[in-house]
Structure 1
Amino acid sequence: MKIPYPDIPLNFCRKCILALLLLWLVVTSIRAQWSVGGKAGINWSTVRYPKNILNDKAGFITGGQAGIVVAYQLSRYFDMQAELLYATHGYKDDNLYLNYDGNASQKGYSCRIHYIEIPLLVKYYPIAGFNIQAGPQLGIGVSLSDSWQEAVDFQQQAKTEFGVVFGLGYEFDFGGFVDARYNLGLTRSIQGAESGYEGRNINISVGYRLYL
């Protein structure tokens, strides 16, 4: 014996889905909370040399960062956070060989690149205050300065860079927070480089958020 299935109208299904979606939006808006603030910190950065630079590794250079933070609390466990930062990264090499205009020299070199950075992060809170962060980051190269003034335009910064950010943070009840992050560059930071020169950055920052 065949048991007939009820004939549910398509319009009824659509109304149920719409009602569930509206209910989810209402619950989310009740639980969600906006916050804005600022942060500043210090970073240590370098680049990955291409394989054709034999037996040599780029060293770390110290820089800084500062900017604004906007966060949206989705639930007890998750936040979405966007930032607009000014930052300086780069690298150094204590013994780099330069052949420029037929003149060969070998000496120390340091390169500093100035950026506007926009990380977009998801933050997970396994326990109150402590969070795990991850997300993509866009870097816009503004300018480059280096220690070889005689070699004009020896290197130029890439116009845009993309990377992935991983980090840990802790937020205090009064609105202050501390972040520690690692930025893995996926594209080159030096314009015209055939390979390599992806950024590798570690940063520590402190800040304050005001809940709206």
Structure 2
Amino acid sequence: MTLRIAVLASGRGSNLQAILDAVAAGTLDAMVAGVWSDRGDAGALFRARDAGLPAQLVRPRDHADRRAHDAALFASIDAAAPDLIVCAGYMRLICAEAVEPRQGRMINIHPSLLPAFKGLHTHRQALEAGVDEHGASVHFVTADLDGGPVIAQARVPVRAGDDETALAQRVLAREHPLLLETLRWIAAGRVRLEAGTVRVDGRTGAAPLQLAANQRFA
């Protein structure tokens, strides 16, 4: 069955574009049911409209508080009946009341090797910590900031002379194939969340999947 995806994004929408390109190329058995953002100037909304997709702006300032905003946001998303909600550069915390009924149906891509470097400015955090390796993670969303069970990761070396921009570009180049490969496994029913634990091919307790250089999970 084709995976029906709702995408949340606050920024330019490069991960969204990677999804759209993979769907168009026939390399991802999915369809994008719509794109939602908290920012009217988000490039993701423009990409969605250009692709002829529903593009919904749900502004926080139009609601009394975070709970009210999230209630309105997810009421709109639920109306599109997605199988999976993908947070692809969505920069707002989502309240527990919105997350908990959707656990196992919401994933996020985060630019670090979780559990290291949660939150913002992950590339700066990595450089300041002096680590040799950085990367990106896809995880199931929980009410804990970047704290949900990790599904998959892609690793990149931290090189001498790296600044935030150089490191960010190297990580971003791995983010797109990481997200797409994870979506392929979810679409095929090979990955799910059960009792708070990631289950891969029926097995629980395995280490996160690792994206190899050939852009397939080992």
- Shared topology, TM-score over 0.5? no
Greater fraction helix: 2
Q: Which has the higher contact order (CA 8 A, sep 6+)?
A: 1
TM-score bracket, normalised by the shorter chain, equals under 0.3
Greater fraction strand: 1
Q: TM-score, normalised by structure 1?
A: 0.24
Q: TM-score, normalised by structure 2?
A: 0.23
